[in-house]
Structure 1
Amino acid sequence: MREGARRGGPASAASRAALAHYIQALADAGWAKSAMAEPLGVTRQEVHRLSRQAEALPRPATLPAVPALPAKPTTSARTARRESPKITASEAKRLRELAPLATKVRGVTAEHDPARTASVEYSVLLAELWKRGVSRQELARITGQAPATIRARLARHGHINRGASERPYKGKQAEFAKRREYCKFGHEFTPENTYEYRRPDGRVARTCRACHARRQREHAHSVRATTGRRTPRPAGRTAQPARQTVCKRGHRMTPENTYEYTQKSGKIARTCRQCKVLRQRAYEQRHGITSHH
């Protein structure tokens, strides 16, 4: 029929009508367009177009018999295909045993409670399978939990970076989450890189010093980009020049060599008198001014 439809003439019109109605019959029987397009040597779009033309074309007296659809795979075969080769049967069984116990852990659960021990083992096993390449959908199918729930558990226990919408543990659970060794940007929580502070609610929190320094640099850059000025110095550093004993050229800042003046902002500043004389002489030399002193 396909070859006859390509020749042209009255026979071509009849072959085209027969082909369109045959494709429509295959579609009614449940055949997919891709399965019909491959033996015909056409695209799925052309198969769809021919099936739409069947309504306007005359139906031939006889059509070839419509073949039966191939047998669908059994449920066991589908399940076998879905089983990931990266996870063993014993690991899947252990996940199913630990999942109900892990969901019972709350902030008031004791540290030596069997449910908390099972929760820790459950999180470690999930993290190992995650790093091995098992998808969250596969873990969700085995444990019966949502993929987002599995990710939130891994993030709260410090196995992966926590997302912006995932909240950390509170209360007693925060003590267990405190054992995290890296911040969400990968910096290690060493004593030199960790800053602890007390929140208004009384809880002690910690932050990464490297991340804090990065945020300060980004803030200073944004201020310079928008206003063209540098960020003002903190109030605690205004008294630092008073502790200076020598100027940048090495002159001692003695009372006789120190000149104090008031800036426009109202702050009292100091400068070196010898440096001031040197600047004045350099200015006179540049402009050819003869000093009368």
Structure 2
Amino acid sequence: MRIVAPVPDQVGQELLRLRAAAREKGPDANEAKSMLSHYILALVEAGWAKSAIATPMEVTRQEVHRLSLQAAKLPAPRSLPEVPPLPAKEPAASKKLRDTPQISPSEAKRLRELAPLATKVRGVTPEDDPSRAAAVEYGQLLADLWKRGVSRKELQRITGQAPATIRARLARHGHINRGATEQPYKGKQAEFAKKREYCKAGHEFTPENTYEYHRPDGRIARSCRTCHARRQREMVESRKELTGAVCPKGHPLTDDNTVAYNRKDGTEVKLCRICLEARQEHSSSAQRKDTCKRGHAFTPENTYEHQRPDGKVVRTCRKCKMIRQREYEERHGITSHR
């Protein structure tokens, strides 16, 4: 809040005298009015507050502002009362800064090392996991710094965790008093800490029946291959129920029109007999072709064989290839160097 210095008593009395003279009707009223406006303007230019000038005159600050602007329209008087200088401001008392304990570089380095490990601890984390020991040390170090008086912002800057998160951790482990919404730490249950040997369906986690994968948080999770295969079969059966027992071409998958065979993994697969025979016929007819589309014979000298990415061997007519090459050169104006 701004402190306004009051004007001296002699200045207040002079303002009252000039204002009273300006309000009277007479030959000296205009001169008193001009002297009042110029005197107020001189006080404002000297640094006196308009509210301080208005107090002895018992007028508003806006009225003082109006009178100071009116001085530009009135003639300057021969003389003005003395304008006192503004009193010097007293130096403000310096605030006593709070002595905030600082964290040593070694403690800050240790906090940065322990914070990522401590945040990975969950209820299912085994007792012998290194992250549990790191979490205990991390909590104890935070508690010591907290009780020492280190600011929460400093802890947040070093650990990267919000002050509310740090307080919740300390309260959960009993280092500080818990709030109304903070729950105590219940600890890790023993049955979840053990590495289970069987899945929920009772299949043993053997190396052949176990599929391990990494979760987004970095932990390694296991999955039962037998259960996964069962879920896949159920999904296929559900799709069959929705689409009907037909092949992609629309042929009904009856017992007479079905060819069954076992895959390497033991899964039984059923194929449409009509589609299978059509593919075999198409493959055999392609192999029986003796001429190309232009009628050139597939002789050993006129045949170029190459293998596709899918493993199939395809034949190409060399004469047709030469014809296409010449047509391309003529179309683009390329001179052959052969």
Q: When the two structures are superposed, what TM-score results if normalisation uses the length of structure 1?
A: 0.35
The TM-score, its normalising length taken from structure 2, stands at 0.31
